[in-house]
A = this chain, B = another copy of it.
């Protein structure tokens, strides 16, 4: 049905004619077309909650950048909000929660999300985006990982060290597990609703994976991600991106995911060795490479493609696009990948 299913085939480990490519944060930020729509809506959260326009900015990078997949325009914090913790997006600062989780009664009060109802606006945006894509490329759905969502719900905002959230793990491990359980159930319901609405593939973003020790990561993050994968992998391919968690690569090989995202600090050959041959790898160019001149971008991009090899690779950055990246450089990066042949 899909005219271009390269990314789905790569995720399943099938041979592809060329390496497929999409970019984290491709919808938004760097595109003037996105900034126009966002200005019209009055803000980021308003845009996330308006399916018609969320669908519009979802499709922009397919048209403008020529990527091999769309990713639904949304935010990882829609789940905490649907659980009972609303937030604001403060310009140049990031998310901010008025109420945070402090004790067991705060956890008890949290609602377990029914994805199709509580986050109907995301499902609606997925339906609209699918219709507008008209099977040109797959649509990726996503969620934050339980640990990353917990850390925002405790900290109330971003943090350099996430020491409040980590303190909670050390001082209240049982409460932490209760909270992770509620978040995990919410994520599973939400992701199933996304698949039901039309998402062809799912990505889990564990943005703050790198602040935990290997042991804590296994206890408070990996086991919950594994449960999500057990539920979603039978439905559609699922990608796990545990940013900065270099130490967990060898354990990710054992969970039910199809693709593993790498950041740019992770050596490609070493990662392949740690992860084995049975997973697709995604990534992992340093987003700052796109500040370089065209020759350097081409040289480094082709070097990356050769290091990953022709199969089981989905090209991407090792993190989201930075806001001040020139659109022409982004296009050139995408084209370099699409034009490359082994």
Contact = CB atoms under 8 A, between A and B. Distances in A.
B322 A265 contact: no
B161 A322 contact: yes
A213 interface: yes
A279 interface: no
B246 A163 contact: no
- Contact residues on A (Cβ < 8 Å of other chain), bracket: 20 to 34
Interface in A150-168: 158, 160-161, 163, 166-167
Contacts of A169: 288
Interface in A271-294: 286-289, 291-293
Contacts of A3: none
A121 interface: no
Nearest to A170: B292
A288 B322 contact: no
A160 B169 CA distance: 24
A170 B291 contact: yes
Interface in A297-342: 319, 322, 324
Interface in A17-72: none
A322 B246 contact: no
Contact of A246 (B158, B247, B296): B247
A244 B265 CA distance: 9
A32 to B, nearest CB: 20
Copies in the complex: 2
B293 A171 contact: yes
B244 A244 contact: yes
A84 interface: no
B171 A264 contact: no
A267 interface: yes
A267 B247 contact: yes
A210 to B, nearest CB: 6
A127 to B, nearest CB: 34
A287 B322 contact: no
A266 interface: yes
A286 B213 contact: yes
Interface of A: 158, 160-161, 163, 166-167, 169-171, 210, 212-214, 216, 244-247, 264-267, 270, 286-289, 291-293, 296, 319, 322, 324
17 contacts: A161-B287, A161-B288, A163-B287, A163-B288, A163-B291, A166-B286, A166-B288, A171-B291, A171-B292, A213-B264, A214-B265, A216-B286, A244-B244, A244-B265, A246-B246, A247-B266, A247-B267
